[in-house]
Structure 1
Amino acid sequence: MSATEPTDPGTHGGDPRANAILAALPPAELARLRALGEVQELDVRASVYEPGGAITDVYFPLDAVFSMVAVLQDESSVEVGTIGFEGMVGLPAFLGSTSSPHAAYCQVPGRALRVGLPELRDVLTDDGALHDQLHQYVSATMVQLAQNVACNTGHQVEQRICRWLLTTHDRVRRPDFPLTQEFLAQMLGARRPTVSELAGRLQQRGLISYSRGQMTILDRAGLEACTCECYWTIRRTFPGIADAATDPHDASSPA
């Protein structure tokens, strides 16, 4: 996957180059995909696909953020993956499936390039750059899924909250975004009172500000100090996510 920093969607509207995968495509291939797709505004909880339901479209997020979640028999859900400008929503379709046991929906409202599955497959038949980019993204996503499982079973809820906030912050590329504690508890598979208590502690320490469903990151470095190595493992896997943070677990990073 190209490490080229994508265009800032905040200043370029619906420019598809705001997506890291699309930004890495040759101009002709990008223009073809753009002509076959449509930039859409998506609201919170807008569904891409449901468990067992048909996947008819894929989405390349520009400034929206999506969650891929596992839905259990008691209808509770746990997030297994976060997808922002670095990727594409609907990977099962790229891999040849017509459905998924998971659900995918918009987590943070914003824009995405929607492409119908037949149109995507038409572009992929040429075996161009998009094909290679999506294969690399599949590899990175597998790391994210596996690391999230390890994190959810091996780390404390506070570390996981910090990981989730940092992961979302990386993808929205702004300090504030809509978030309810109920939604955060669902995504982490944790009890809402526990999440409420821990979020209150983070706010008291000046790391975040939370009011009326709006989360604001005040001290990113402080959150980084509180998270676990899983955040850094996942972040390194997606070179499209570039920021000034220094990974303390990277031996090549300056001390």
Structure 2
Amino acid sequence: MPAKSQPQPQPQQNHLLAALSPEVQCRLFPHLELVPLPLRAVLYESRRPMRHVYFPTDSIVSLQYVMENGASTAISVVGNEGLLGITLFLGGESTPSRSLVQSAGYAYRLPRARVKEEFNRHGQLLMLMLRYTQALITQVSQTAVCNRHHSIDQQLCRWLLLSMDRLSHGHLTMTQEFIANMLGVRREGVTQAASKLQQLGVISYSRGLIKVLDRSKLETLSCECYAAVKKETELLLNYLPQRPVITNTDAIPTVTLKTP
């Protein structure tokens, strides 16, 4: 029998779009375009013109700062809680960071002209976008502190938690090298950190497959940076659904970690 095709993602799978009133949705939804976001695809390149705003449905995009020597570090992650392209409605036409897909999926994109037109109505979209921008600024600031002051083990915990918060399907496929690039550390450091978490019973790690066994403990082992970001995000983005706590259960999110 032929495999069943997956249902097409809907705009309401993005929580910010779902929070809009029917009136605003009627103005915007006809102009939304569904686009696939393959792993490692670049949505925005540093200093290049931005033509669309993206609303992820089941994908995660990492905002990275790229140095002159090519080295990069993730400064934030964006998923179905928000959007990519805040500089378009803040007065800019480009961004200093690169937007790289870290978990493949889909997003709806909206032309910048439509975004600015709705934003300039000074209505609901403006308020939601400004609140989301504040939440994103908190994440960027806390990431900078975390990268400077906390261990690779804590950074990996924070990154796993942020990724799981933005996944609807509960799994993530990428190489150790890719995760190391996200954190701005050596690949060996990621391998050692994952091994420690396995020894503590927080995750299982076998043949490149990581399963989170105890989310509550993972949050405990993470530094205060994750809790600070989560608290501010839930305060500002009150449209987000409640996230389940995973503690020693078979129904667990899965992160696939492949060695290149």
**1:137 correspondence with 2:129:** no
Q: C-alpha root-mean-square deviation of aligned residues, in Å? A: 1.9
Which among 35, 42, 49 is matched to residue 44 of structure 2? 49
Q: CA deviation at 1:48?
A: 1.2
Partner SS state of residue 110, structure 2: strand
Residue matched to 1:227: 222
Separation in 2, partners of 1:110, 1:160: 24
Residue 166 of structure 2, aligned match among 155, 167, 171: 171
Query: CA contact under 8 A between 1:178 and 1:214: conserved in structure 2?
Result: no
- Indicate yes or no: 2:84 matched with 1:93: no
- Does the aligned pair in 2 maintain the 1:68–1:81 contact within 8 Å? yes
Residue 69 to residue 213, structure 1, CA distance change in 2 (3 Å): farther
What is the aligned partner in structure 1 of residue 242 from structure 2? 242
Task: Check 1:241–1:76 CA distance in 2 against 1; reply closer, same or farther (3 A cut).
Answer: farther
1:5-47 CA-partner distances (Å, limit 9, x unpaired): xxxxxx9742212212111111121132111111222111111
The answer to whether the 8 Å contact 1:175/1:216 transfers is no
Cα contact 1:62–1:113 (8 A) shared by 2: yes
Aligned to 1:63: 58
Conservation of the 8 A alpha-carbon contact between 2:46 and 2:97: yes
Overall identity of the aligned pairs, in %: 36
Distance 2:100 2:206 in 1: 24
Deviation at 1:201, TM superposition (A): 2.1
- 1:106 corresponding residue in structure 2: 101
Q: Distance in 2 between matches of 1:119 and 1:215?
A: 41
Residue of structure 2 in register with 1:249 after alignment: none
Alignment of 1:180-219 (within 5 A): 180-210=175-205, 215-219=210-214
Evaluate the alpha carbon distance shift between residue 108 and residue 17 of structure 1 in structure 2; reply closer, same or farther with a 3 A threshold.
same
With 110-119 and 68-77 compared, the bigger mean Cα shift is at: 110-119
| SS state at 1:172 partner | coil
What's the offset of the Cα at 1:185? 0.7
**Given the superposition, is the C-alpha separation of residues 112 and 36 from structure 1 closer, same or farther in structure 2, using an over 3 Å criterion?**
same
Evaluate the alpha carbon distance shift between residue 218 and residue 91 of structure 1 in structure 2; reply closer, same or farther with a 3 A threshold. Answer: same
How far off is 1:101 after superposition?
1.2
- Give CA-to-partner distance per residue, 1:175-219, whole Å, 9 cap, x none: 321122111111111111111111122234332344666543232
- Quote the Cα distance in structure 2 between the aligned partners of 1:17 and 1:212: 36
What are structure 1's unaligned runs of at least 5 residues? Answer: 1-10, 247-255
The answer to whether the 8 Å contact 1:65/1:108 transfers is yes
Question: What is the alpha-carbon distance in structure 1 between the residues aligned to residue 209 and residue 48 of structure 2?
Answer: 31
Partners of 1:179 and 1:209 in 2: CA distance: 17
Mapped partners of 2:207, 2:62: distance in 1? 21
Q: Secondary structure at the match of 1:162?
A: helix
Moved more, 208-217 or 156-165: 208-217
Offset of residue 115 of structure 1: 0.8
Distance change (3 Å), C-alpha of 1:213 and 1:48 = farther
Cα deviation for residue 233 of structure 1 reads: 0.7
Q: 1:32 aligns with which of 23, 27, 34?
A: 27
Unmatched 5+ stretches in structure 2: 1-5, 235-239, 247-260
CA distance in 2 between partners of 1:191 and 1:55 (Å): 32
- For residues 52-101 of structure 1, the C-alpha deviation after alignment (integer angstroms, 9 at most, x for no partner) is 11111110111111100000111010000110111111111121111111
Residue matched to 1:20: 15
Aligned to 1:7: none
Please tell me whether residue 116 in structure 1 is matched to residue 116 in structure 2: no
Map of 2:258 onto structure 1: none
Aligned equivalents of 1:241, 1:179: Cα separation in 2 = 27
